[in-house]
């Protein structure tokens, strides 16, 4: 919330630069200088462009060009040979048609939806519950809150490998516990029913700290007098939460969920390390599929892989648009 005034005030580099040059010119206002002034303006404009050049170059080199290459790749039929002679036939939407009609597409899309949806719901609700809990500032609250950040600090490779060990069918601690309590052996990572659940559990655990931190800082932005007024009016804890915390936290919640969506859509490492998208396609999401197509087999299908990647980008873009619309509706009551 506190960030809005800053973003409203659009200080573009060109305006700022023009301000500097214009100020200097008016300091010695002499009437004869129409051409001089035009030249000055052009110079000022060049200066302005020079100032934004680094950003533009950065964006072009690291965003626009790779994006263009990925699009180009997905519209051509790239084989290993294409790398040598540099030619690849332009095939329009063939790769997209191939990907959409592939038997892996439907399960991969469904898995992506389930994986993203369930992850967000749990990460957000647990993160919010913990944020509200820690906001009460009891002794040791800071220490405990710090401990909750551990999943975020660990390299994904480490946490995913440890989850894979814990969920191992024969020697994993989770099954040891379940069997000690008289339960059956659950093939967490290797049965088609449980593989997606396993990677979900790991991903939710990893995502909680992110939600906790952002929502906690959001809570600090809510003025305390609102709570005081509510408590004077005799509002219960539950009422305070639903009538004050939730509505006032909405902007922060929106950005948390959007970021969570974008992060989760593209999750790859956790799934690859734990199940490799298997057994068969049981935990294959779009990003896993894209990797498998491009680099998994012995013969890389780079063009279909790029097509799947672009579908993912489109999905993320749609969520971005939804966010911007929601944001606009919030801004204009």
Partner 1 sequence: MIQRGNIVNNTARKSRILGALVLSTALVGGLAACTTTPTGGDSAGGTFTLWDPYPDRDASSTWAQAIDACATDLGITIERNAGNTGDTVKDLTTAASNLPDIAMVDNPKVSTLADAGLLTTTDENGFDVSDISANILSAGEIDGKVYGVPVGANTLGLYYNPAVLDAAGVDIASVTDYASLTAALEKVVASGKKGITFSAVGTEEGSFQFLPWFWGAGADLTALDSSESEAALTLWTDWVQKGYAPNSVLSNTQGTSWDEFKTGDFAFAENGSWFKSDADANGFLSIQVPGIDGGVAPAPTGGEFITIPVQKDASRYATSAKIVKCLSEGDTGATALGYVAPTQAGADAQLAADPTLEFWIGAVGDAKPRTADNLGVSYGIISEQLYTAVQAALSGSASPAEALATAQATAVENLK
The contact set with partner 1 (CB under 8 A) reads 17, 20-21, 24-25, 27-28, 30, 36, 40, 43-44, 46-47, 49-51, 53-54, 57-58, 61, 79-81, 83-85, 103, 164, 168-171, 185, 187, 189-192, 275-280, 282, 295-300
Q: Is 65 exposed, middle or buried (0-12, 13-18, 19+ CB in 10 A)?
A: exposed
Min dist CB 123 to partner 1, Å, is 25
User: Under a CB-based contact definition with an 8 Å cutoff, are residues 290 and 305 in contact?
Assistant: yes
**Closer CB to partner 1, 200 or 282, in the complex:** 282
Contact between 307 and 99 (Cβ < 8 Å): yes
| Closer to partner 1 by Cβ: residue 83 or 317 | 83
Q: Chain centroid to CA 156: how far?
A: 15
Give kind and range of the element (H or E) at residue 272: helix 269-274
Kindly state the smallest distance separating residue 81's Cβ from partner 1, in Å. 5
Q: Which tokens in the block code for residue 89?
A: 């036939």
Q: Which is nearer to partner 1, 120 or 273 (CB)?
A: 273
C-beta of 280: minimal distance to partner 1 in Å? 5
Query: Please, what is the minimum distance in Å from the beta carbon of residue 194 to partner 1?
Result: 10
**Cβ distance to partner 1 smaller for residue 28 or 225:** 28
Closest approach of partner 1 to the CB of residue 6, in Å: 24
Minimum distance of partner 1 from residue 282's CB (angstroms): 7
The residue behind tokens 């950040």 is 149
CB closer to partner 1, 55 vs 177: 55
**Residue 165 near residue 277 (C-beta atoms within 8 A):** no
3-state class (DSSP) for residue 5: helix
Widest distance between CA atoms in the chain: 96
Neighbours of 108 (CB within 10 A): 25
Q: Which residues contact 206 (CB under 8 A, 6 or more apart)?
A: 151, 152, 156, 159, 270
Of 1 and 60, CB closest to partner 1: 60
């Amino acid at each position: 919330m506190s960030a809005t005034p800053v973003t409203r005030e659009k200080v573009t580099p060109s305006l700022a630069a023009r301000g500097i040059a214009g100020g200097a010119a008016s300091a010695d206002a002499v009437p004869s200088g129409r051409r001089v002034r035009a030249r000055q303006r052009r110079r000022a404009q060049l200066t302005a462009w020079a100032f934004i050049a680094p950003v533009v170059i950065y964006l072009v080199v690291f965003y626009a060009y790779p994006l263009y290459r990925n699009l180009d790749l997905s519209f051509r039929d790239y084989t290993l040979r294409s790398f040598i002679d540099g030619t690849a036939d332009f095939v329009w939407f063939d790769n997209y048609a191939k990907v959409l009609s592939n038997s892996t597409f439907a399960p991969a899309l469904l898995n992506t939806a389930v994986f993203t949806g369930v992850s967000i719901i749990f990460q957000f609700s647990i993160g919010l519950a913990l944020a509200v809990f820690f906001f009460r500032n009891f002794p040791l609250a800071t220490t405990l809150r710090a401990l909750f950040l551990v999943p975020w600090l660990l390299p994904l490779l480490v946490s995913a490998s440890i989850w894979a060990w814990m969920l191992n069918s024969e020697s994993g601690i989770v099954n040891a516990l379940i069997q000690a309590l008289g339960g059956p052996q659950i093939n967490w990572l290797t049965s088609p029913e449980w593989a997606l659940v396993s990677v979900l559990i790991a991903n939710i655990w990893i995502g909680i700290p992110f939600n906790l931190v952002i929502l906690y800082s959001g809570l600090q932005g809510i003025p305390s007098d609102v709570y005081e007024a509510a408590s004077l009016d005799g509002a219960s804890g539950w009422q305070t939460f639903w009538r004050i915390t939730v509505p006032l936290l909405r902007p922060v919640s929106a950005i948390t969920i959007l970021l969570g969506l974008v992060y989760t859509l593209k999750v790859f490492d956790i799934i690859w390390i734990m199940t490799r998208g298997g057994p068969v396609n049981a935990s294959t999401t779009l990003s896993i599929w894209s990797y498998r197509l491009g680099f998994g087999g012995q013969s890389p299908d780079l063009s279909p892989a790029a097509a799947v990647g672009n579908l993912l980008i489109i999905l993320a873009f749609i969520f971005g648009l939804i966010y911007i619309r929601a944001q606009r509706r919030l801004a204009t009551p």
